[in-house]
Structure formats: C-alpha cells, structure tokens
Amino acid sequence: MAYKACPNETCNRKVTDRSSGQYDCRSCGVSSAFRYKFNVKTSICDETENQWVTLFEDAGREVFGMSAHELMDLREHDASAFHRRIEAVQMEKYCFRLRYKLENYNDTLKPNVTVDRAEKVDRSSADYWRDIRRRIDLCYT
Ligand SMILES: [Zn+2]
C-alpha cells in the first residue's frame, strides 16, 4: 500500500532501514527520517470490465483524501479510523485517466497500468446527471 521513501521532496526513491534507526537512499545518502508514499495495487471497474492498476502518491491523495504518510499515521494511531477510510473509498466513483504500458516479464508481454489522474465524481452536481442522461441517450440512439 505504501513504501518508505526518501524525505527529500524531489526524490521519491525507496529507502532501506539501517540497523542504526536511520534510512538509506541510494541517491541522497543517509537520513534520520522518511516519508510514506503510495504504491497501491487495486482493481477498478466500470460498466464494461475491471482493470488492475497501480496508484502512486498524487492519485492516492485524491482517492484517499490524504497523503500516504497521513494514512499510515492513521493506521498506526487509530486503526478503526484507518479501516473506515479504506472502506469509504471502495465503492466510491472516480474518473480515472490511466497510463497503459506493455512490459516484458520473462518473455511475456503484460500490461502495466498506472493511474495518471484520479478525480472524485461529484454525484450532487448537475454535470454528473447531465452526463448520465447523455450516456443513457447514447444507448437508445
Ligand atoms: Zn533520495
């Protein structure tokens, strides 16, 4: 769900724990802190099918409404609030823009799909219902 990343704002590299309680970044060296960053593998679906995707920090913030660091802090200090947050997003509607890339795994091409952008669908907006109406009309023309 999240990984320990370098605290340097311009570096998102994963850090490794040192026995001294510090963290090692391959680019920036040793630091005394880290920031959690999202790396969420999940399934999303629409009316036609489902798709396994990976969400990184920006899309994760949009979906969970907080940073990975805040969410991991919640998991550590208030487990029931953390679980409520996870459950709340499971059946929520989002508009996703996906990045699709074929990658070679052991001589087999497999799709690697990441969420480039996530935007929560506002069901109370008139635009949402206009779009639903347009989609229904498309089905009958
Ligand atoms: Zn770094």
CA 82, distance to chain mean position in Å, is 15
Beta bridge partners of 14: 5
Domain membership of residue 11 (yes or no) is: no
CATH number of the domain encompassing residue 111:
2.40.50.140
Question: Domain of 50?
Answer: 39-139
In a domain, 28, yes or no: no
User: Could you tell me the distance, in angstroms and rounded to a whole number, from the CA of residue 110 to the centre of ligand 1?
Assistant: 30
* Per-residue model confidence (pLDDT) at position 47: 82
- What's at 97, amino acid-wise? R
132 pLDDT band, cuts 50/70/90, is confident
Please give the residue that has the higher pLDDT: either 33 or 9. 33
> Rounded mean pLDDT of 53-78?
95
For residue 63, which of 83, 88, 82, 43 has the smallest C-alpha distance? 88
Average pLDDT over residues 112-122: 92
Ligand 1 centroid, distance to 3 Cα (angstroms):
13
Q: What is the Å distance from ligand 1's center to 52 Cα?
A: 29
Spacing, Cα 61 to ligand 1 middle (Å): 21
- Give strand pairing partners of 94: 120
Q: Looking at residue 127, what is its pLDDT?
A: 87
Domain assignment present for 2: no
CA distance linking residue 56 with residue 117, whole number of Å: 10
Global pTM reads 0.82
Percentage above 70 pLDDT, the chain: 100
Helices 68-77 and 79-90, packing angle to 10 deg: 130
pLDDT, one tens digit per residue, over 29-45 is 999 999 999 999 999 99
* Structural domain contains residue 114: yes
- Answer whether residue 3 is part of any domain: no
Residue 96 binned pLDDT confidence (cut-offs 50, 70, 90): very high
**Domain annotation covers residue 55:** yes
Distance from Cα 4 to the centre of ligand 1, integer Å: 11
Residue 13 lies in a domain: no
Cα 12 to ligand 1 centroid, rounded to whole Å: 6
> How large is the average pLDDT for residues 43-64?
93
**Summary mean pLDDT of the chain:** 93
- How many structural domains are present in the chain? 1
Give a yes or no: residue 135 inside a domain: yes
Residues 6+ apart with CB under 8 A from 10: none
- Alpha carbon of 109 to ligand 1 centroid (Å): 31
Sheet holding 35-45, edge to edge: 2-5, 35-45, 50-56, 108-120, 94-105
Ligand 1 center from residue 114 Cα (angstroms): 22
What is the spatial distance between Cα 42 and Cα 47, in angstroms, rounded to a whole number? 17
141 pLDDT above the threshold of 80: no
Cα–Cα distance, 23 to 53 (Å, whole number): 29
